[in-house]
Amino acid sequence: MLESLRSAAQSWIAKILLGILILSFTVWGIADVFRGGINGNAILIAGGSEVSPDDFRFAYEQQLSRLSQQFRQRLTREQAKAIGLDNQVLSELAAGVVLDEQARNMQLGLSKDGIARLTAEDPAFHDASGRFNRQLFNVVLRQAGIRPDDYLENRAKVARRQQIVEAATDGLKMPATMLKALALYQGESRNVDFLTVPVEKPDAIPNPSDDVLKTYFDEHKDEYKAPEYRKFTYVKLEPSDIADPAAITQEEIQAYYDKNKDRYGTPEKRTIEQINFTDMASAKAALDRIKAGTGFEDIGKEQGKTGDDLKLGTFEKSALPDSAIAEAAFALPLNGVSDVVEGAFGPVLLRVTAIEPGHTKTLADVSDEIRNTLATNQALNDLSGVHDAYEQDRSEGNSMADTARKLNLKTVTIEAVDAEGNDPSGKPVDLPNTQALLPAVFQADQGFDNDALTLGNNGYLWYQVDDITPAHDRTLDEVTDKVIAAWKEEEAARRLTARMEELKKRVDGGTTLDALASELGLEKQTRMGVTRATNDASIGSAAAAQIFRGPDGLVGIAPAPAGNAQILFKVTSVTEPAGAGADSIPEAQRNYLARAVSDDVLEQLVGELQKQYPVRVNQDLLNRVLAF
């Protein structure tokens, strides 16, 4: 209802404003009719204004680029045509060309200074300082394949159109009366009593007769159709497929371990405290006092520092940024205090309060890990050669199975899979790189060799289609259990709908929800303050919408927010918002409504202008442009 109210308001306002605009523009002479044939060098023409092939190409490429970004892939011309991109661009350019013609008839213009100012304001041509850069202007246009004169002319056209658009739509607002009505509409709340009636369980519904089941199956036969299945074989080549850990010698493992021993251990860590001093004399005096028996922390307290303030942290030696501090701290015994250290920020005293010893795994601990690492590294080096050997052997006419056997690769045959990746029982089939492999398999022809798919940065996947089982109708005997289950689900829903209608009639006739709740063994629930925006676990958005479909005392039926249950409700009171007015509508919503009204006015204005200036399309030229 909110959308209907907004649409009605827009249409009402738009028609009034449009009448005023058309009358005003007629005075300017927009009643000039289209004369003559279409210019052979223009794709669109309205009166004396036209759209050139370059204009169309530029607009088309911009839209194609935006759509490609949305789909995260470069769309082909065929894909763009399938989603109607050419018609969309034509429609937008047709709206622009009639605005150009209107601007021409009204003799609207723009000075060179005005064009220069608009160009200078374009952020695409601003350098790092935020100022217009002529060199950047030339570079951007050259990269886009646009001549400067064409850009400036297009900029002037846009500015002239904007003068008409602003004259038609600038300052439009939704009337205060309409905003007040909207505030009353949005702010109204209702209290409601309701019962949630569950659907019957399928087990409680007897099986249909054979005749009923056959009739149901015949009516829904397409839903049980067997999809196309394909049998195919693939060969996967990744480092793990050709790695040979057994070929790695113990000497190679020992050498790798010796070279990378640091990787197989945890370094020693120390918890370090630090006191900073402004000069060397103060630091040495403090050190003498500590040697004489003053506590390290007592020196810190004299500087107003707590124990946490003294703590530098727990570090590996390599993690300390100051090498002088690192060397001194890791030379100290536990709880030892250093000599004065000349740190990067002045003299310091250090104390180590905890030591976590380092630990290095033995060769025996990591031998298998190193063996696998070396085998994988060797496989990476051999991968390209195995790939080339496979391709060469296949090019000589050998079968996939024979080629794989020669190279110690494994062939895997999938007996049947549909385009969704499921086997005939409906279970998903485990495949490598499913997102690329499945579409490729279903686009390939049976018995033909196919280019390998890539697996990440270091892998290949060859495949061939061995057999195709076309999609076909299944018999009732093949899917009896599924058909019975579906029939029962529909029958349960039908029975519940009939039951709910009967219950509603009884409440309309005077039976209370309390009485029905007792009779049905259900709980009557109450929901206070339901609004049109309510969407919770008890009511849900569908029921909230139904609750506002009538006056106080309304009895209705709505889907429950969960399961296949339904709600039987009765509105018990209606409350209008206090002080509802135009100001109670949020500013963001008021702005949205104003934009919607403006858009509606502009759309209708363009429609009227297209009647005054019929737009002609040079279809032959358009076809040639789209074919490039």
286: which 2 tokens? 């403090």
Supply the pLDDT for residue 144: 61
Q: How far apart are CA 192 and CA 528, in angstroms?
A: 7
5: which 2 tokens? 């109210």
pLDDT tens readout for residues 43-78:
889 888 888 888 888 778 778 877 877 777 777 778
CATH topology (fold) of 268-357: Chitinase A; domain 3 (3.10.50)
Which CATH number does 229-246+365-469 carry? Answer: 3.10.50
DSSP assignment of 171-226, as one string? T----HHHHHHHHHHHH-EEEEEEEEEPPPPGGGSPPPPHHHHHHHHHHTGGGGPB
What is the chain's mean pLDDT, rounded? 85
Q: Which residues contact 284 (CB under 8 A, 6 or more apart)?
A: 340
Q: What percent of the chain has pLDDT over 90?
A: 48
170: helix, coil or strand?
coil
* pTM assigned to the model: 0.49
* Closest-CA residue to 85 (of 55, 63, 58, 62): 63
| Whether 517 contacts 524, CB under 8 Å | yes
CATH topology (fold) of 2-174+590-626: Triger factor/SurA peptide-binding fold (1.10.4030)
Q: How far apart are CA 324 and CA 328, in angstroms?
A: 6
Asked if the model's pLDDT at residue 8 lies above 90, the reply is no
Q: How far apart are CA 35 and CA 198, in angstroms?
A: 69
Fold match between domain 229-246+365-469 and domain 268-357? yes
- Domain range summary for the chain, segments of one domain joined by +: 2-174+590-626, 189-219+480-575, 229-246+365-469, 268-357
Partners of residue 49 on adjacent β-strands? 46
* Closest-CA residue to 239 (of 368, 378, 437): 378
| Whether 556 contacts 504, CB under 8 Å | yes
Q: How far apart are CA 625 and CA 73, in angstroms?
A: 23
Supply the pLDDT for residue 40: 63
Q: How far apart are CA 421 and CA 438, in angstroms?
A: 7
Q: What is the mean pLDDT of residues 501-521?
A: 95
* Closest-CA residue to 47 (of 612, 508, 427): 612
Q: Which residues contact 28 (CB under 8 A, 6 or more apart)?
A: 105, 106
Tokens 């040697």 found at: 291
pLDDT tens readout for residues 517-532:
999 999 999 999 999 8
pLDDT tens readout for residues 156-214:
777 777 777 777 777 777 777 888 778 788 888 999 999 999 999 988 999 999 999 99
Partners of residue 453 on adjacent β-strands? 461
The pLDDT-based confidence of 15 (bands split at 50, 70, 90) is very low
Q: What percent of the chain has pLDDT over 70?
A: 92
| Whether 566 contacts 545, CB under 8 Å | no
The pLDDT-based confidence of 307 (bands split at 50, 70, 90) is confident
